[in-house]
Amino acid sequence: MKQIINTDSAPAPIGPYNQAVKRGNLLFTSGQIPIDPLTGELVEGGIREQTIQVLENLKAVVEAAGTSLDNAIKTTVFLADMKDFPILNTIYAEYFGEDNAPARSTVQVAALPKGSLVEIELVAKV
């Protein structure tokens, strides 16, 4: 049976989806973009500020499901511009480390919701 996960500590969905779905011991998050959950607005700044907000949003969602970023198994990163990869990678390492980092795919896309520079989704063990 699936369990729907939503928390006020992360941005409310902007469409017909939930922040995450838990099935058994796996958690599947929807992609998070850099929206401040308090204001509902895209955070100001560049890729650094946006990546931090995305990872903080993901952290809030996984914690609401009873797990942590340490249990992430796989992430998918969507970038509006691959030139932002080095900065993203540095911040990503601060959240996931290197020895325990999840598997990851990173792709450049034509556009992201609300004009954001980055979106990340993940699968984690609960």
* Closest C-alpha among 21, 54, 1 to residue 126: 21
pLDDT band at 65 (very low <50, low <70, confident <90, very high): very high
Transcribe 18-65 into DSSP letters: -SEEEETTEEEEPPB-SB-TTT-SBPSSSHHHHHHHHHHHHHHHHHHT
9-38: average pLDDT: 96
Could you tell me the end-to-end alpha-carbon distance of the chain, in angstroms, rounded to an integer? 14
Greatest alpha-carbon span in the chain: 41
pLDDT of residue 55: 98
Compute CA distances 27 → 45, 50, 110, whole Å.
30, 23, 27
pLDDT of residue 73: 98
Q: Model's pTM, two decimal places?
A: 0.97
Tell whether the model's pLDDT for residue 90 goes beyond 90: yes
| Domain spanning 2-125: CATH superfamily | RutC-like (3.30.1330.40)
As a whole number of angstroms, the distance between CA 40 and CA 37 comes to 5
* Closest C-alpha among 17, 114, 124 to residue 70: 124
pLDDT, tens digit, for every residue of 24-61? 999 999 999 999 999 999 999 999 999 999 999 999 99
**In the chain, % of residues over pLDDT 90:** 97
pLDDT band at 126 (very low <50, low <70, confident <90, very high): very high
